[in-house]
Amino acid sequence: MFSVSNVSKHFGEVRAVDDASFSIAEPQMVGIIGRSGAGKSTLLRVLNRLADATSGEVWVEGEDILSFKGARKREWQSNCAMIFQQFNLVPRLDVLTNVLLGRLNKHRTIPSLFKLFSAKERLDALMALDRLGISSIALQRVETLSGGQQQRVAIARALVQKPQIVLADEPIASLDPLNAKIVMESLRDIHDTDGLTVICNLHTLDTARQFCDRVIGMSEGRIVFDGKADNLTTEVAKSIYGASEDFEESMTSTAIGSDNNKPSREDLQIKELSTVDA
Amino acid sequence: MSLAVPNHLSVIELELKRQTKMRGVYSLTIFVALVLFIILGFETANEANSGGFLQGFSQLLDFPIDIIKMSFDAGWGWFYLLVEYFPALMETIHMAILATFIGFVGAVVVSLLASQNLVKNTTAVSLMRRVMDFSRAFPELVIAMVLLFLMGKSAVPALIAIAFHTVGALGKLFSEVNENADMKAVEGLTANGANWFQQVRYGIIPHVLPNYLSYGLLRLEINVRASTILGFVGAGGIGEQLTANIQWTYGADVTAIFVLLIVTIIALDYLSRWLRGKLIASGASVVG
């Protein structure tokens, strides 16, 4: 159904994505983990066609989507919803309009410039907002919302696109733990209820373990792990995060309720500074 | 108590002192050069002119005193002059509004094509920038005088002249606003398959529209003055009345026109400030 084969993306000498291959046979919730700069974002951007790959192919239903151009390419982008760390909504427009903008690709240019969306589309948009529990703020302007609310608006926009696949680039990296949980649960629900493949970039291992069926680990542009989260050993995790001997999985955690990553009392005490006399 | 500064820091300290001193020397040199330049310029201008700089000053106040005297002589009739010249004022304002509107629309189109973040083709961007430079380079007066010569005396040449200049002047400001716009919204729209027009319409316009309108209102103020001046060269409106009355030394008429113009500019200033305040407060969701 979805097959990434030997995809590379180079920025000059830097190999942001280096010969990445994986395939997804049936709808899955996939988490891509790795530290900053591992190439996770670049990989998703290549899949959505926001960035062009240097080489490689991505096969979807018998077609190489990396070869698409113009309207074909935009149609693919419409089928491949993307959610961003910084939400990437239009702050000055209201929530409902922002969600409806997910339908732009389905309209001809001139009508779309005058916000001529159908009643069915408006209903769909409201349903999507309701599903995410934010229909009450449908007419509020996006810039007045909290980060968690904005990310849910972005997910609603992805839903009205009626995509084949949902990509989420660090969707919870700028959210507090509670909102992060809500957003991850919404993404999981899209997979469970709508049967869509969701590929989600994550910083943290425990989120991937909790929500994803499959984990892909990236390090310096290369895929270094691909399998069930349970098979991820501490050794592999160390190599993914490039961590030293004292690495513990909990160090990467930002989730609620994992008490073991709280700093000890001693750590919190400010060490006395030794003053130097002149 | 002296501070014991480590050696590598004292080196930086010394270097800083040296640089500060050098900067002082440079500034002083430039300042002296400027002063010399200005003095020499005055000398040259004085020699070239038939009269001296100071000669005209004694006559400076003669004309204002004369026209104010004449206005008092006109008595209550002076207020009637305000009514008499009002239609001419409206003609000038109409000319300015229409020219600003046409120029505004042109500037939006040109500026979008002249923004590096929206158009990937650098040749097209630089071409559009040159178009803006070109239309900005000619003062309204120059274009209007040529067109008035070609098309005869009417408001149309002035309209074209002001609109043409406005495209360049506003386009330059608009393209800077566009280039400072946050591209996250555009990226979001690109990622869900929106085409260029849709990206600009929803990703850029809502963000920049308050700024556009704010600059547009400012330009309207400038264009009212410009269309007044163009009246001097035969484009009609209140400017034509003003120049005629100055030549005939009809003092009362001249002061009446001045009062009308000043009140108009003040009113426009208040209006645009109020509108801009509203725009910024409400953002573009009303209009965008």
- pLDDT value for A261: 44
Return residues 89-108 of A near B (CB < 8 Å): 89-94, 101-102, 104-105
A81, A101, A158 ranked by CB distance to B189: nearest: A101
Flag whether pLDDT at B115 surpasses 90.
yes
pLDDT in tens, B129-187: 999 999 999 888 899 989 988 988 888 899 999 999 999 999 999 999 999 999 999 99
pLDDT at A88: 94
Q: What tokens were used for B172? A: 């330059």
**Residue A270 pLDDT greater than 60, yes or no:** no
Q: Provide the pLDDT for residue A260.
A: 45
Report pLDDT digits (tens) over A21-60.
999 999 999 999 988 888 999 999 999 999 999 999 999 9
Q: Does B207 touch chain A (CB under 8 A)?
A: yes
Token digits for A50? 């926001």
Instruction: Note the pLDDT tens digit of each residue in B207-264.
Output: 899 889 889 988 998 999 899 999 888 888 899 999 999 888 888 999 999 999 999 9
From A111, which residue of chain B is nearest by alpha-carbon distance?
B198
What is the distance in angstroms between the Cα of A48 and the nearest Cα belonging to chain B?
7
Q: Please give, rounded to a whole number of angstroms, the shortest distance from the CA of B164 to a CA of chain A.
A: 27
Give me the residues of B, 166-205, that contact A with CB < 8 A.
182, 184-185, 187-195, 197-198, 201-203
Of B239 and A273, the structure prediction assigns the larger pLDDT to B239
What's the CA gap between B149 and B153, in Å, rounded?
A: 8
pLDDT at position B283: 53
Q: Pick the residue from chain A with its C-alpha nearest to B279.
A: A92
Residue matched to tokens 């608006």: A153
Residue B109 pLDDT more than 80?
yes
* Residues A98-130 pLDDT 10s: 999 999 999 999 988 988 899 999 999 999 999
Evaluate if residue A272 carries a pLDDT over 50: no
Residue B3 touches chain A, beta carbons under 8 Å: yes
Beta strands in A12-44 (DSSP E): 14-24, 29-33
pLDDT at site B52: 62
DSSP 8-state assignment for residue B54: S
pLDDT of residue B286: 42
Task: Write down the pLDDT at residue B53.
Answer: 62
Asked whether residue B31 carries a pLDDT value surpassing 80, the answer given is yes
The answer, yes or no, to whether residue A267 has pLDDT greater than 60, is no
pLDDT at B50: 59
At residue A278, the pLDDT reads 39
| pLDDT for residue B2 | 57
Asked if residue A118 is part of any domain, the answer here is yes
Determine how many CB atoms are found less than 10 A away from the CB of residue B278. Answer: 12
Residues 194-223 of A with CB under 8 A from B: none
Residue A246 has pLDDT above 70, yes or no: no
A95 and A145 Cβ atoms separated by less than 8 Å: yes
Owner of token pair 């484009």: B235
Q: Is the pLDDT confidence value at B6 over 50?
A: yes
Residue A227 within a domain? yes
Confidence of residue B278 (pLDDT cuts 50, 70, 90): confident
Is A116 a member of any domain? yes
CB crowding B114-140: b at 16 or more within 10 Å, else e: bbeebbeeeeebeebbebbeebbeeeb
The per-residue pLDDT for A248 is 65
Domain presence at residue A276: no
Alpha helices, DSSP H only, in B138-250?
A: 140-151, 155-180, 184-191, 196-199, 205-232, 238-247
Backbone angles phi, psi at B49, to 5 degrees: -75, 155
Q: Does A23 touch chain B (CB under 8 A)?
A: no
pLDDT in tens, A215-225: 999 988 999 89
pLDDT of residue A218: 92
The SS3 call for residue A94 is strand
Q: What is the ipTM, given to two decimal places?
A: 0.84
The count of structural domains within chain A is 1
Q: Which of A226-235, A239-248, B77-86, B195-204 has the lowest mean pLDDT?
A: A239-248
Residue A249's domain spans which residues?
2-268
Residue A259 has pLDDT above 60, yes or no: no
CB–CB contact B285 A92 (8 Å): yes
Cβ neighbours for A129, distance < 8 A, ≥ 6 positions apart: A95, A96, A99, A135, A137, A138, A153, A156
Count interface pairs A-B at CB distance under 8 A. 94
B116 shares contact with chain A (CB less than 8 Å): no
Q: Does a structural domain hold residue A110?
A: yes
Q: What CATH number should be reported for the domain holding residue A8?
A: 3.40.50.300
Q: What tens digit of pLDDT does each residue of A162-207 get?
A: 999 999 999 999 899 999 999 999 999 999 999 999 999 998 888 8
Q: What is the mean pLDDT of residues B187-191?
A: 95
Residue A1 reports pLDDT greater than 80? no
Q: Would residue A188 count as lying in a domain? A: yes
Cα angle for residues A275, A277, B2 (degrees, 5° grid): 135
**pLDDT given at position B57:** 73
User: Which residues of chain B neighbour A90 with C-beta distances below 8 Å?
Assistant: 185, 188-189, 202-203, 206-207
What pLDDT is stored for residue B173 in this prediction?
95
Minimal C-alpha gap between B212 and chain A (Å): 15
**Is residue A19 domain-resident?**
yes
* A257 falls within a domain: yes
